Amino acid sequence: MKINKIKEMSSPELEKELSELKSELFKLRFNLAANGLENPVKIREVRKDIARIKTIIRERELTNKN
């Protein structure tokens, strides 16, 4: 997911996307342990998307305080 797309999303949309990505990460890790993954790089991509979303949420929190 691109950072520009994330910045355009509203805060509730970001929270929803974050929860979806966390559940996807859980499923990927479970599948990796159970029977392997077709594309193990997908885990890294999902983790980075989660970090990007958390970063934007935190930036918004900091700008709202000032």
Domains of the chain, each with CATH number or no CATH: 3-65 (1.10.287.310)
pTM over 0.85: yes
Q: DSSP 3-state helix, strand, coil percentages of the chain (rounded to 5)?
A: 85, 0, 15
CA atoms within 13 A on the CB side of 16: 5
pLDDT (tens, 9 = 90+) of the chain, 66 residues, equals: 789 999 999 999 999 999 999 999 999 999 999 998 889 999 999 999 999 999 999 999 999 887
Cβ 65 vs Cβ 58: under 8 Å: no
